[in-house]
Structure 1
Amino acid sequence: MIQFKKTSIGIALCVMTAMPATAAQTIKAVVIDGYPEKSMWVHEFSNFFIPEVEKRLASTGNYEMQWQESYGGSIVKPKGVLEGVKLGLGDIGIVTTIFHSSKLPSQALAAVTPFISDDARVVAKAVDEIAKEFPTMQKEFAKQKQVYLATGVVLNTYQLYSKKQVNRAADLEGSKVAGAGMNLRYIEGIDGAAGVRGGLTDFYNMLSTGLVDHAMLWPEAAKTFKIAEVGPYMLETDFGAVNSKTVTVNSSFWKKLPDEVKDVLQEVALEYRDHVANIAMERAAESRDAYVAAGGTIVEMSAEDKKQWADSMPNIALEWAQTLDKAGEPGSEMLKAYIAKLEAAGAVPTRDWTAGL
């Protein structure tokens, strides 16, 4: 009897050992961005976000992701990510929010407050906190059938790149300036200056063909897209860092995800936010040096000329806040809270954008 029990236990142990462990559930996800993989934020999504998600899911072994990464126009163009995620062409997207001022007006918060901070880390954190503390930003994405995960700040500051040297705002009179959204309003106080909307991938050709005389972009992008060849003068305007990317998830896809996967995506999105902002800051000086090495000339702009430029602009921050207020959203409170966060981090506004509230 004793021998029988030993044999039975031995057989049972052998059977248990032979049984395969429960297989992890595979979740397929299509990630889209219209920009090419060489773009810093896309590259870091592939090399930081995705590996981090996989590592954390592997720690429990319950789920694994099967990714389809579709960048550079393979599914959508740069301006088509918001619509692509809404339609389910992508499950996760990196939305360039500056293209969608009418659908995502609250995302322009940093763009309507130039000349305050060129620290991508501070701006990214402040905007993301505003998105969590006020419902407005998340509600706007919900209307587009998307769940907001985190803000992305991929530039330390917009600068002005030109075919001929300029030193101040007045030197832009009668010229054409390329921009990608709200920053086109920065030239509204300059006589005869006309803004021309374009995307980052368009700026090289716009300058080389003479469609525009100047373009507003940031040093890391200028290096990546070889802007020194067509815009050999950079005016150090220091317009500041802006949030221009948001990681979102299709709402229907999100609802089907297990809570464990949702938690991991949200955690990693915040780390991706800070990771990308840190890279933007690290590459800023290097990119300036690369621009000069490629034949570019950097022109310093005085503090007085920066203030004169800021004061010449319409108060676009006030307009932004009041427009949201009229729509029933706390625009004025968001604006004051955001600037307070920047000031608490050490930023000193060149102009008081809250004047009149």
Structure 2
Amino acid sequence: MNPTRRSFLAGTSALLAMPYLNTRSIAAETISIQIGSSHPTNNIWVYAMQTALQPALDKLLADAGGNYVVNWGENYGGTLYKFKDTRAAVRDGIVDIGMVGTVWEGSSMPLQNVTYFTPFANSDHNVVIDVFDRLTEELPELKAGWTDQNMVHLSSLVTDNYDVYANFDINSVDDIKNRRLNAPGTSANWLADTGCTPVDGALTTYYTDIQTGVSEGTLSFASGIQPTRVYEVAPKLARVGFGSMYFGGIAVNKTFYDALPADVQTALREAGRITSRSHGDYVTERATNAMKEMVAAGLQVNDMAQAERERWAATLPNVAKPWLDANGPAAAKVLKAYFAALRERGITPARDWAAEA
């Protein structure tokens, strides 16, 4: 047995029903599951695991007759691995179930990062969850991104809408010319050809970067900005509408999953769907409350005019093209399926990247 993981226990133990419940004795098989993440449980993605996935699976198994019970081993907050190792941790069975940040896996799971190469597409995070839950099941290319890594996708994880938090007013794309904004990773593409200099960083560095003049603001989302108090040094929010991003997913190690009883597999998949809905609700709650608290603390909010959003989007080069060129027909299929799903929901992106594919 691989010492770095807990396989489920096949032994059967007799669980005597408590007398006050007035139920008969039943035999239940105990399934031991190690669940973990690189982030703490107050994180919007990890919160979904502990408060939605775990209780949902417990309840589904109990409602199905109580033939199986789960013995959870919680490994949250980076106790077993850090954020750059989420894929490897689930793939290799360091944990049986874990949060996988595909945003950090551009070379290993590139198709999952389609939203980061198509800014100005859609700001509704619940739509992103629904679309990617469905497309991951329907598109072999997206599903293979998980199964080829010895994982089974259970639930989609997202960010709320990306905007610009800055220490200067932004009413149009012209206002960021000759400025410096934190825009790590792929989000730097959203500033291409605008005259703005992207500065690398992370939620943990934005405050100091802006305070010390390394940057003058950042591209980020409310549920991330509020806890880090970045609004204190970047008190002007320009609602640009870069969009909600598919961040990754909750996944189960495929070797572990394949060895589970069929009834437990079914319950686990349903628990994943329940978790997606719960995650969407929680992100809504966190983002809404974050905005209220920041505005009360002095954040000035400017809703950029739709015409200016479209002009910003049109200013960018085809930022999807390098991603498409690197990943071939599969990327084009995923991109077109994503934008078709948006159209089905009556959403009109500020720029139709699929039409340029």
> TM-score of the superposition, structure 1-length normalised?
0.86
Residue of structure 1 aligned with 2:110, choices 74, 80, 105:
105
> 1:312-351 maps to which residues of 2 (within 5 A)?
312-325=315-328, 329-351=329-351
Quick one: structure 1 residues 70 and 208, their matched pair in 2 at CA, closer, same or farther if it must change by over 3 Å?
A: farther
Say whether the 8 Å CA contact 1:307–1:351 is kept in structure 2: yes
Structure 1: 5+ residue stretches without partners: 1-19
Shift of 1:65: 1.2
CA drift at 1:27: 1.7
Q: Deviations over 1:291-326 (max 9, x none)?
A: 11122111221222211210111222344334332x
Q: For residues 97 and 212 of structure 1, what CA distance do their matches in structure 2 show?
A: 27
Structure-2 residue corresponding to 1:170: 174
Displacement after TM superposition at 1:195 (Å) = 3.7
Residue 132 (structure 1) shift: 1.5
Number of the residue aligned with 1:309: 312
Q: How far is the alpha carbon of 1:64 from its aligned partner?
A: 1.2
Tell me the equivalent position of 1:256.
Answer: 259
2:156 corresponding residue in structure 1: 151
Match of 1:126 among 128, 131, 134: 131
Which amino acid letter does the alignment assign opposite residue 171 of structure 1? D
Number of aligned positions between the proteins:
333
Tell which deviates more after alignment, 307-316 or 73-82: 73-82
CA spacing shift, 1:25–1:205, aligned 2, 3 Å: farther
- The amino acid of 1:246's aligned partner reads G
Tell me the equivalent position of 2:90: 85
Q: Is the 1:150–1:269 contact (alpha carbons within 8 Å) kept by the matching residues of 2?
A: yes
Alignment correspondent of 1:194: 198
Residue matched to 2:217: 214
Q: 1:26 to 1:209 in 2, by over 3 A?
A: farther
1:49 partner amino acid: L
Letter in 1 for 2:245: V
The higher radius of gyration belongs to 1
The answer to whether the 8 Å contact 2:129/2:156 transfers is yes
Tell me by how many angstroms 1:248 deviates.
0.9
Q: Deviations over 1:29-85 (max 9, x none)?
A: 222222221112322321121111101112221211121222222222223211222
SS in structure 1 of the partner of residue 46 of structure 2 = helix
Indicate the percent of aligned positions where both proteins have the same amino acid: 28
Paired letter, 1:315? N
SS in 1 for 2:353: coil
What RMSD, in angstroms, separates the aligned Cα atoms of the two structures? 2.2
1:280 to 2:283 alignment? yes
Match of 2:29 in 1: 25
Q: Which runs of 5+ in 2 are unaligned?
A: 1-23
Q: Does 1:228 align with 2:228?
A: no
* Structure 2 partner of 1:3: none
Q: In the alignment, is residue 139 of structure 1 matched against residue 144 of structure 2?
A: yes
Q: TM-score, normalised by structure 2?
A: 0.86
Equivalent position amino acid for 2:304 in 1 = M
CA contact (8 A) 1:154 1:277 kept: no
Equivalence for 1:13 = none
In structure 2, distance between residues paired with 1:212 and 1:88: 40
Deviation at 1:197, TM superposition (A): 4.4
Moved more, 264-273 or 142-151: 142-151
1:247 corresponds, among 215, 236, 250, to: 250
